[in-house]
Chains A and B, each alone.
Chain A
């Protein structure tokens, strides 16, 4: 999956109905709880073929950090 497609999917996890996530969106401004982290682990696994660590993902600050972890930066 390319970056725009991934940002659209990630936006639906972080802020349902608000459109694609922006690169500088701060995860703390969404409900970045264990369910959101698991949903993002699943998203990256399914669309990027990479199974990232839940702990590493939980430490991300912005959407740009998530992209880097997913190999889409």
Chain B
């Protein structure tokens, strides 16, 4: 197997057909207007998975878009990473099922990674390691979630923000010595676990312990998560710049996890990033957890905000608490 530098080669995303608009929310929550929801979140519409539609279905659809576009063939993929917190089953890994559905070779490695808003950056770090160690040549990193399954209809704080969706990112080997992914700054603070959690349904708390709805329910302490991001993210950006011996001015585009517009605006101002080099593009999909960064990158590429040679900083942060940041040199 030939070694080379790992690079992001292509991205495609997929959203479910069913949508939740601000008009739908304003009709349900009478004291909220369409304008107020948009002003605070920056989101106009969210994808909501159909009954029986899983994150792996959305992820497989995103991957098929890559194959149908002819940018990479299924038989060239030799490692599949599926980053999700909405697996099909406790076991087997959804990635194993996805390998068969996508017609990937049986010589293809396949694993699930359970990580949320930082998951894309973590996936990139794994993919880079696999490619640059010579373990794999073409890694398919699929991110996908259906948080709507966990959301209480009455909980407007999360219902307005999260959307279902998936993205498929092809990371492959390139010629040359120039680093196209990295360096990385990764970190964890498990003391923040309680602030964004689906507590019931797994092994620690098998049965639903009450709450507003039956079944696993997403709990988010918005103000505490916001405090965490204001404290952590500027420091992570500074660490990454220091590690790469770069300054803010050297970065062509900043693609942060698209949590919500209010949070993004505060982070951008605090760090001192000019708005024209900072992506806010969650209007048509909402907070899709580990898929927001590849979705925003796909949009930025389509809009010409980034292109071949661009240096892009990606930063993921949230549930865990977990965070990760890296630099991408686009091909």
Query: What residues of chain A have their CB less than 8 Å away from a CB belonging to chain B?
Result: 34-35, 37-39, 41-42, 45-46, 51-55, 57-58
9 contacts between A and B (CB under 8 A): A34-B223, A35-B157, A38-B226, A41-B223, A51-B227, A53-B224, A54-B223, A54-B224, A57-B223
Does A42 contact B223, Cβ atoms closer than 8 Å? no
Does B226 contact A41, Cβ atoms closer than 8 Å? yes
Does A46 contact B270, Cβ atoms closer than 8 Å? yes
Q: How close is A20's CB to chain B, nearest CB, in angstroms?
A: 22
Does B231 contact A55, Cβ atoms closer than 8 Å? no
Q: How close is B91's CB to chain A, nearest CB, in angstroms?
A: 36
Complex contacts, B262 vs chain A, CB 8 Å:
38-39, 42
Closest to B260 in A: A38
Give the one of B222, B223, B224, B262 with max A CB within 10 A. Answer: B223
Given the known A-B contacts A34-B157, A35-B40, A51-B230, are A42 and B224 also in contact in the complex, defined by CB atoms under 8 Å? Answer: no
Does B40 contact A41, Cβ atoms closer than 8 Å? no
Could you tell me the distance between the alpha carbons of A51 and B231 in the complex, rounded to whole angstroms? 7
Which B227-251 residues have a C-beta within 8 angstroms of A? 227, 230-231
Q: How close is A54's CB to chain B, nearest CB, in angstroms?
A: 2
Does B40 contact A55, Cβ atoms closer than 8 Å? no
| Chain A CB within 8 A of B269 CB | yes
| Chain A CB within 8 A of B33 CB | no
Closest to B231 in A: A51
Which size class do B's interface residues fall under? Answer: 10 to 19
| Chain A CB within 8 A of B266 CB | yes
Q: How close is B152's CB to chain A, nearest CB, in angstroms?
A: 14
| Chain A CB within 8 A of B114 CB | no
Complex contacts, B269 vs chain A, CB 8 Å:
46
Does B223 contact A55, Cβ atoms closer than 8 Å? yes
Q: How close is B63's CB to chain A, nearest CB, in angstroms?
A: 36
Could you tell me the distance between the alpha carbons of A45 and B224 in the complex, rounded to whole angstroms? 13
Does A58 contact B227, Cβ atoms closer than 8 Å? no
Q: How close is B239's CB to chain A, nearest CB, in angstroms?
A: 17
Could you tell me the distance between the alpha carbons of A68 and B108 in the complex, rounded to whole angstroms? 59
| Chain A CB within 8 A of B310 CB | no
Could you tell me the distance between the alpha carbons of A15 and B269 in the complex, rounded to whole angstroms? 24
Contact of B221 among A35, A39, A46, A54 (CB under 8 A): A54
Could you tell me the distance between the alpha carbons of A41 and B229 in the complex, rounded to whole angstroms? 11
Does B223 contact A58, Cβ atoms closer than 8 Å? yes
Given the known A-B contacts A46-B269, A46-B270, are A37 and B223 also in contact in the complex, defined by CB atoms under 8 Å? Answer: yes
Does A34 contact B222, Cβ atoms closer than 8 Å? yes
Does B227 contact A41, Cβ atoms closer than 8 Å? yes
Contact of B227 among A39, A46, A54 (CB under 8 A): A54
Nearest first, the 10 closest Cβ-Cβ pairs linking A and B are A54-B223, A54-B224, A34-B222, A37-B223, A54-B227, A38-B226, A51-B230, A42-B266, A51-B231, A38-B223
Complex contacts, A58 vs chain B, CB 8 Å:
223
Q: How close is B268's CB to chain A, nearest CB, in angstroms?
A: 12
Closest to B31 in A: A31
Closest to A37 in B: B223
Q: How close is B204's CB to chain A, nearest CB, in angstroms?
A: 23
Complex contacts, B225 vs chain A, CB 8 Å:
54
Q: How close is B35's CB to chain A, nearest CB, in angstroms?
A: 13
Could you tell me the distance between the alpha carbons of A51 and B290 in the complex, rounded to whole angstroms? 26
Does B266 contact A55, Cβ atoms closer than 8 Å? no
